[in-house]
Amino acid sequence: MPAALPLFLDCDPGIDDAIALAYLCCQDDVDVVGIAASGGNVATAQVVENTRGWLSLAGRSDIPVHAGHSLPLAWRVLQMDPQAAETATGEALEYADLTHGESGRGYARLPAPSTPVSSVTAAQAWVDAAHAHPGQLLGVVIGPATNLALALEIDPELPSLFKRLFIMGGAFNYRGNTHPTTEWNVTFDPESTAQVLAAFDRTRQEERLAHLPVIAPIEATEAVEMTPERLATILDGSSAGGADDRWQSVLAQLAEALRFYFEFHETDGLGYLAHIHDPFVLACALSWARQDTTTSTGTELEGSDSDSREPSAPVPVRGSAGDLPWASTLWAPVDVELTGTLTRGETVADWLGRWGRPVNAEIIRAIDAPAFLDHLSATLMKGPPA
């Protein structure tokens, strides 16, 4: 058994989130410290139930699920009425029910979870997880960054405790999937993504960071297309390979969720297929972490002199090209548009250095989608470790 890799996942299931959860259940070397269920694709309470439902179906009710804040940070800025925003139908907030179904599960039917939701909030759970695994924790955000931003308000030193952070979100110089230039996760809570990026933008922090965050925007992740043919191959392969009844029931419900997702994408003019952003980002993060041999400084923070600490990994300059598992990247300063009347929530990369700011992210630009999809298919066919 390989050494356990501590992971904290922040998600908003969501159909592609559900595939990511299934992929996670197939890993034999990951210590899932906790999962934050952040409101986004659907309201927080429903996201919590969906996360627990998928985990329960997969037999992983042992993983702590932490409920996110009921509202995005944006509500402070927009001065929304918290009571109004808390209505059962979530009318004061825009959710992605057209994309993921009213339940966020498409046509899937999930069991009622039997275990309680953790009493620890998602934001506090982020903090606790980072402190429990200083310098070792891999953080992966595949929903809005609301609760990570709240965690950073609790402890602004969190960035120096991560092994690395991977964020699915944004659209750079690209048509959006939500508003004309914006992606869903960032559009739902622009302030939270901006705050997270700002936390990694401080020179003081940067000197102590093992690595800067990775951002996986939709112009890259849309290349990861699930098709009915590939789904059928996964289902057939799992059955022929002797996967147990529990796992086959997980795949069967994922297929029902994907049937809705296929229909949405077809309605949106994209064909009878589905962009599955989230499992790619999780898989890329895990694969990167397995390969990374950098010694993080996180374990040295307490009681040591931060000024004398050398960075663990050199930070490439703006415009540097990089590689991640199944992906090519570019480094750049990144920020989020918060005030544009047409572009609020747009992610902006300063490719030419006009701002004079240091880089604060490695941005995925292209993905070897066929290679990743083959990996995903093989993983889901095989199922969880015995």
**14 vs 39 by CB, closer to Ca ion:** 14
CA distances from 2 to 8, 31, 144, 184, 220 (A): 18, 11, 31, 36, 31
**17 vs 189 by CB, closer to Ca ion:** 17
**Is residue 49 close enough to count as binding Ca ion by CB under 5 A?**
no
**210 vs 254 by CB, closer to Ca ion:** 254
**Is residue 14 close enough to count as binding Ca ion by CB under 5 A?**
yes
Give me the least distance between CB of 40 and Ca ion, in Å please. Answer: 6
Which tokens belong to 322?
């990089």
Give the binding-site size for Ca ion (rule: CB under 5 A).
6
**Is residue 39 close enough to count as binding Ca ion by CB under 5 A?**
no
Whether cis (ω within 30° of 0) applies to the bond prior to 14 is yes
- The phi and psi torsions of 94 (rounded to 5 degrees) equal -90, 125
362, β-bridge pairs: 214, 331
380, β-bridge pairs: none
CA distances from 70 to 38, 39, 148 (A): 8, 7, 14
**Is residue 17 close enough to count as binding Ca ion by CB under 5 A?**
yes
Q: Euclidean distance between the first and final Cα of the chain, in Å?
A: 12
Contact 127, 151 (CB under 8 A): yes
Instruction: Using CB under 5 A, pick the residue from 113, 143, 217, 383 that binds Ca ion.
Output: 143
The window from 170-178, 225-233, 276-284, 326-334 that contacts Ca ion (CB under 5 A) reads 276-284
**Is residue 47 close enough to count as binding Ca ion by CB under 5 A?**
no
Please tell me the distance from the alpha carbon of residue 5 to that of residue 14, in angstroms, as a whole number. 25
367, β-bridge pairs: 327
Give me the least distance between CB of 261 and Ca ion, in Å please. Answer: 12
The window from 28-36, 220-228, 271-279, 294-302 that contacts Ca ion (CB under 5 A) reads 271-279
Instruction: Using CB under 5 A, pick the residue from 58, 93, 108, 142 that binds Ca ion.
Output: 142
**Is residue 222 close enough to count as binding Ca ion by CB under 5 A?**
no
Contact positions vs Ca ion (CB under 5 A): 12, 14, 17, 142-143, 278
